[in-house]
Amino acid sequence: MARKLRIQFKGAIYHLTIRGIERRNIFRDDHDRLRFLAQLAEAGAESGVRLYLYCLMNNHAHLLAETPRANVSAFMHRLQTAYTVYFNRKHQRVGHLVQGRFSSKLVQGDQYLLNLSRYIHLNPVFAGIMAAKPLKTRRQFLRNYRWSSYRGYAGLSSVEDIVDRTALLSMMPGKGEQQRKAYRTFVESGLATTDEEFRNLVHQSPLAIGNPSFQEQAQQRYAHALRETSRPEDVALRRLAFAHNATSVIQITCEEAGATPQQLTQRSYRQPARAIAMWALGKYAGLSQREIAETLQVKTGAAVCQAIRRLKMSAATDHQLQAVMRQIERRLVQ
C-alpha cells in the first residue's frame, strides 16, 4: 500500500510519536536519552520548530510541536536519522531502529492541546508495573521522572531551553509560579481519574485530535493533498478514506454489533465486533493495518490482517454475521 501523505501547513501543531521496531527499546541507558534530547534540540533549531513538550519512554517517544515553516517531515527525518546513526554505531547494530514512519496527528489548540499535554506527561505512570501502584507512589514517580518536560512545567526543576512553555502555561491562571502550580494540579488530577473519552479520542482519531469540525478540516486538507500529488495510486487506494472518519465508523460498528468502544480494544474470541471494526476501518475510514492496530490496541498490523481474514471466512457461513456487516455497509455508503 502507498504511504499516507503528511498534512503540512504553517503553524500546524502535531502530536508526534516514534516507536522501536518490534516494540524494542530505542533507549538503553541515560546516555541514549541525553543524546536524543541533544539531537532534538539541534533538529528543532535547524527546522525552526517550537517544541511544546516531550516524554521519553523505553521503546517510544512522544513530542508535541508546532511547525511555523510547515516542515514536520523534514524535522522528524533529521531527528530520526541522526539518532539512528548514533544508536547503531554505539550499540554495534545495523538496520532500522524505529517502527515504520513516525506518527503525526494534528492537534486543535486550547483545551485539546492542554488535555493532550496531560495525557503525554502521564505516560510514565500508566506504563508497566507503575500503573498498578498506589496513587501516592505514582505521583512521586511522576515528579521524579527525568525524561519528560513535566518537571520544568510543574516548577520542580529548572526550565529547559529546548521547550517552549508559553502556549500551555498561558492557559493556566495567575503568573509565573502560580501558573506552574496550577499546571501541576491539572496534570496530577489525572492520576486519580483518567479521562477515558479523551484517551479514546487520541487512539481512535487517525489524522487529528480535536472536535468534529477540526477533524473534518483535517480530512479535507488530506484529501486536497492527495489531489495535488502526482501519485494516482494513492487516490485509487484511498478514494473511500474520507467518506467517514474513524470515530464515526467505530460508533456505527458498536451500534450494529452490540458492543462498546472499550470492548473493541479488548481481545475476545466470543465477540466478533472487534474484527468487524478492523474491517470497517480499513474499508471506510481508509486506515492502514498498522493504523488500525494502533487505534484498536492490537499488537501488530499482521494481527489485524489475520483477524479480518478470519472474519471473512466466518461470514461466508454465518448469516447473522453477514447481516451485521451488510447493515454497517448500508449505513456507511449512504
Q: What is the pLDDT of residue 245?
A: 76
Query: 223 or 63: which carries more pLDDT confidence?
Result: 63
- For 3, counting Cβ atoms within 10 Å of its Cβ (0-12 exposed, 13-18 middle, 19+ buried), the class is exposed
Q: What is the pLDDT of residue 6?
A: 87
Q: What is the pLDDT of residue 101?
A: 81
The DSSP annotation for 107-171 comes to: E-STHHHHHHHHHHHTGGGGSGGGGGS-HHHHHHHHHH--SBSHHHHTTSSPPPTT---HHHHTT
Q: What is the pLDDT of residue 172?
A: 96
Distance, CA of 97 to chain centre: 19
Torsion of Cα atoms, 210 then 211 then 212 then 217, to 10°: -50
Least confident among 24-33, 232-241, 319-328: 232-241
Buried b / exposed e over 297-324, threshold 16 CB at 10 Å, is ebeebebbeebbeebeeebeeeeebeeb
Q: What is the pLDDT of residue 334?
A: 55
Q: What is the pLDDT of residue 237?
A: 37
Sorted by where each begins, the domain ranges of the chain are: 12-191, 196-332
Q: What is the pLDDT of residue 229?
A: 63
* CATH entry 3.90.110.10 includes domain 12-191: no
Where does 196-332 sit in CATH, by number?
A: 1.10.1750.10
The DSSP annotation for 40-81 comes to: HHHHHHHHT-EEEEEEE-SSEEEEEEEETTS-HHHHHHHHHH
Q: What is the pLDDT of residue 3?
A: 59
Q: Is pLDDT above 90 for 97?
A: yes
Q: To the nearest whole number, what is the mean pLDDT of the chain?
A: 88
The DSSP annotation for 170-214 comes to: TTSSSSTHHHHHHHHHHHHGGGTS--HHHHHHHHH-SSEES-HHH
pLDDT-derived band at 269 (thresholds 50, 70, 90) equals low
Model pTM score: 0.69
User: Which residue is associated with the grid cell 498534512?
Assistant: 7
Q: What is the pLDDT of residue 244?
A: 67
The mean pLDDT value for 267-282 works out to 85
Q: What is the pLDDT of residues 46-88, one digit of tens each?
A: 999 999 999 999 999 999 999 999 999 999 999 999 999 999 9
Q: What is the pLDDT of residues 238-253, one digit of tens each?
A: 433 345 678 888 889 9
